Amino acid sequence: MTQRVLTTESGAPVADNQNSATAGVGGPILLQDQHLLEKLARFNRERIPERVVHARGSGAYGYFEVTDDVTAFTRADFLSAVGKRTETFIRFSTVADSLGGADAVRDPRGFALKFYTDEGNYDLVGNNTPVFFIKDPIKFPDFIHSQKRDPFTGRQEPDNVWDFWAHAPEATHQVTWLMGDRGIPASYRHMNGYGSHTYQWTNAEGEAFFVKYHFKTNQGVRSLSSEQAAELAGKDGNSHQTDLLQAIERGVNPSWTLHVQVMPAAEAADYRFNPFDLTKVWPHSDYPLQRVGRLVLDRNPDNVFAEVEQAAFSPNNFVPGIGPSPDKMLQGRLFAYADAHRYRLGVNHTQLPVNAPRTAVVDNYGRDGLHATRNGARHDKNYEPNSYAGPAQTGAALSAPLAIHGWTGTHEAPAHTKDDDFFQAGELYRLMSEDEKGRLAANIAGGLSQVTRDDVIEKNLAHFHAADADYGKRVEEAVRALRED
């Protein structure tokens, strides 16, 4: 095999990669050693800012295959025919910890999926839980600050975590999920994924439907107890990454079955609770799961930095037939995700290979900026409209319009007949076995008992009592027992 020649960034051959140039034998290093300076300067710049949230992640390529006809609900081309396959890339992640954190921790998991469709990339950004802690994006920075390392102690503080939740009663449902048996997945392969938000589908006739996505793992749901997770995190901080990588390498390709819940748009206004509230689920008795297709992961990235860390997902990347809903958290993320990528990766992050469309042709008037690779030919214009046959709008909306009425202002979400912050948390609790209820109470008490302010503890206990009397009683007794030790 022919030996490849090591070169500098400019392509010049490197004569010596073992010794720096010096002023004589044993003398000081010379500033003229371009290869040394280039290597050190590049090394200093190898890292980019990590994600503020979802920093620690793993990814894989695969495909999505349609198994059931859903054309009555959407005109999205990648869902247009049974048997149609679309290449995908997925990124799993933990939410609160930094890039150096462990995988096996009690934390929600990100479930971000990129479909490389013929009509452009469609990004579906969700979690492994169907709900979230808050319902308004204006509270998101405060929520994340409460979960991150404290500015003084440099660690996650129970006082901060539970103080925020004490003032956010709508978080009770997600806290119940997080502290329950599914709070620590055994691996990325053994957890479900959810779009979490409500999205809009529009069919060929222009009819609008609101949908929720459910990716059910075909490996079965498996989770870790707090004790198992602590042991695993101590042995292998990369446990989930290792599991996913090795499974795919040996041909055990993980898969999920996609189902959707479909609500005709006309039913949303009079539904018994706000269907766009991210802290609530739609009962399956109201809107049953309808199968759509299957997601299969069959290829590992060749370079984790290039393909996992630089992967950029934004929920505002829609395709014809799919659009947003009035979900306030989704609306906030339509801006925040894309803005985060422009900060981390630059304005041209969509031109990176992992983010660039596979089959769809990108043709617009975006020019210049850091790392631009697509600037147009000599006679291409960078303005529109023009007289030079440049790309023009289609006039066809991607999704149906949303009806808007009322006055502008900082309104609370519209009240529905049975809006409540605690009922669904209680419903979830009552579905649990006695053993599950005991572990849930113990998990909550483990953190809540460390809070130093009695009033914060009492506020949180009131939320669990409001969800279910037995729920509140168990947690209160477990907290008291730990605080008396």
Indicate which residues carry an active-site annotation.
54, 127
Give the relative orientation of helices 172-179 and 423-430 as an angle to the nearest 10 degrees.
20
DSSP state of 7: B
If you search the block for the tokens 């302010």, which residue do you land on? 453
Angle of CA points 352, 354, 358, to nearest 5°: 100
- Do 41 and 8 contact (CB within 8 A), yes or no? no
178: closest CA among 273, 98, 101, 109?
Answer: 109
Instruction: Count Cβ neighbours within 10 Å for each residue of 378-402 and write b for 16 or more, e otherwise.
Output: eeeeeeeeeeeebeeeeeeebbbee
- Do 447 and 158 contact (CB within 8 A), yes or no? yes
Six-digit token string for 462: 């009131």
DSSP state of 223: B
- Tell me: cis bond preceding 353? Omega within 30 of 0 counts: no
Query: What is the DSSP code string of 371-409?
Result: T------TT--SSSS-SS---------SSPPPP--S--S
Burial of 295 (0-12, 13-18, 19+ CB in 10 A): buried
> In sequence order, what are the beta bridge partners of 61?
89, 299
Query: Count of alpha carbons within 13 Å of 50, Cβ hemisphere only?
Result: 15
- Do 106 and 157 contact (CB within 8 A), yes or no? no
**What's the rounded Cα separation, in Å, for the pair 414 and 405?**
12
DSSP state of 414: P
Dihedral sign for Cα 434, 439, 441, 442, please: positive
DSSP state of 277: -
Radius of gyration of the chain (CA): 25
193: closest CA among 83, 92, 98?
Answer: 92
